[in-house]
Amino acid sequence: MPRFIIFVRATPETEATTKADSSELAQMIAYNKSVRAACILQIAEGLHTSSHDCRRIALGPSLEVTTGPFPAGELVAGFWI
């Protein structure tokens, strides 16, 4: 059976420090449970906002480290497998 990974792109809303709307979160949890029960979903995870992260770029022997936050259009907020 083929497997797929779906990346959820970050938006200004996902990068905001406010919590998700409780009704939307409940709907998402219910959906994830239903597709997991159907053996379609293996794992679904959200990631921390970029304000809690840094980028590490290795170019040969040197390492470049840049702290966040970063532009939302370049980020992944979560994934499904």
> Tens of pLDDT along 65-81?
877 666 667 788 888 88
- Give yes or no for a contact between 74 and 12, defined as CB atoms under 8 angstroms apart: no
Category of 60 on φ-ψ map: left (φ > 0), alpha (ψ -120 to 50) or beta:
left
Interval 4-40: pLDDT, tens: 888 888 888 878 867 777 888 899 889 989 999 998 8
C-alpha distances in Å from residue 19, one per residue of 9, 63, 80: 17, 34, 20
Q: Is this prediction's pTM over 0.75?
A: no
Extents of the domains making up the chain = 6-80
Report the amino acid identity of residue 12: P
> From CA 57, how far away is CA 50, in angstroms rounded?
15
3-state SS assignment for residue 80? strand
pLDDT at 72: 66
